[in-house]
C-alpha cells in the first residue's frame, strides 16, 4: 500500500478500516472510518479524495445540527476501482469492483461493478469495455 503525503487515515473506537494489497492512496486524501471502511486490493485513490462514513441525522429545528445524533454507515470500495482527483464518497456507498469514478464526482449511491460514474451527484454514464 502506498500512502501519499499529508493523507489522513482517521480511525475510530468502533468499526474498522481495511485497505487491500497494492492500493495507492494519493496525497491530501481523507479517509474516515467511524462507520467502517473497506477498501479492496489494487484500488487507485487520487489526490484529495474524501471518504466519509458518518453524518448528523436530522432531529428537528429545535436541536442544532451539530448536537443531533451521529449516524454511522459503512463504505465499501471493491477491488480494482479508481477514484479520480477530488472525489467525495458519502456514507453508506458501495463502489463495485472495477468501477471508475471521474474527478470531482460526489458519490451518494451504489455504483455497479465495471461502471464509469461522473458528476455531482455522480451518475453512471457507461460500463467499462470487456
- The set of catalytic residues is 56
Local structure of 13: helix, strand or coil: coil
Query: Residue 30: which of 108, 86, 101 has the closest Cα?
Result: 86
Name 64's Cβ contacts closer than 8 Å, sequence gap at least 6: none
Angle, alpha carbons 48-54-88 (nearest 5°): 25
Strand partners, 106: 88
Cα separation, 38 vs 49, in Å, equals 15
Phi, psi for 76 (deg, rounded to 5)? -125, 120
Amino acid at each position: 500500500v502506498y500512502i501519499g503525503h499529508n493523507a489522513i487515515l482517521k480511525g475510530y473506537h468502533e468499526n474498522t478500516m481495511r485497505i487491500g494489497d497494492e492500493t495507492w492512496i494519493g496525497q491530501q486524501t481523507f479517509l474516515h472510518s467511524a462507520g467502517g471502511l473497506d477498501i479492496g486490493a489494487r484500488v487507485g485513490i487520487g489526490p484529495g479524495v474524501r471518504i466519509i462514513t458518518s453524518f448528523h441525522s436530522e432531529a428537528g429545528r429545535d436541536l442544532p445540527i451539530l448536537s443531533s445524533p451521529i449516524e454511522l454507515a459503512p463504505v465499501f470500495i471493491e477491488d480494482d476501482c479508481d477514484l479520480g482527483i477530488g472525489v467525495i464518497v458519502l456514507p453508506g456507498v458501495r463502489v463495485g469492483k472495477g468501477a471508475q469514478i471521474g474527478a470531482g464526482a460526489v458519490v451518494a449511491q451504489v455504483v455497479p461493478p465495471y461502471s464509469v460514474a461522473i458528476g455531482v451527484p455522480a451518475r453512471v454514464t457507461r460500463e467499462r469495455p470487456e
